[in-house]
Structure 1
């Protein structure tokens, strides 16, 4: 992990096309802005983890054939 110290309005560049800028620092919170190409997904880590957990649960869910038939008859 790379750790950098930045002040308000300072930025870092990742891979030449992603910019992370410190927008505001107030009451112990830091607001950051991220500029990246549209093909790059950006999301909070806790949301990403939740999506991974739900996907794993869906893969491990066993569905019986009779239940599937009922779903498709609707």
Structure 2
């Protein structure tokens, strides 16, 4: 890990097309700006972890109910109804 000390207004360059700028420093927190190409994903670690945990919890809840997938597909109109007997 590279550790740098920067002051407000100073920048860090990553490669040719990513720029991190220190926008504000207040006490023990800083505001940074990230300028990167649209194709580069920039995510906050704590948000990514929360979403991952929520997805895992939701998938485990679905395993407890074996009919959940079929009900969802029926609700979305993705299941064709079984043929009715001719009579």
Tell me the TM-score range normalised by the shorter chain: 0.7 to 0.9
* TM-score between both structures, scaled by the size of structure 1: 0.78
RMSD: 1.9
Segments of 5+ residues of structure 1 without an aligned counterpart are: none
Which structure has more strand as a fraction of its residues? Answer: 1
Query: Which structure carries more relative contact order (alpha carbon 8 Å, separation 6+)?
Result: 1
State the Cα deviation string for residues 48-68 of structure 1 (Å, max 9, x = none).
11122233334444141x333
Q: How many correspondences in the alignment?
A: 73
TM-score by length of 2: 0.68
Contiguous gaps of at least 5 residues in structure 2: 76-87
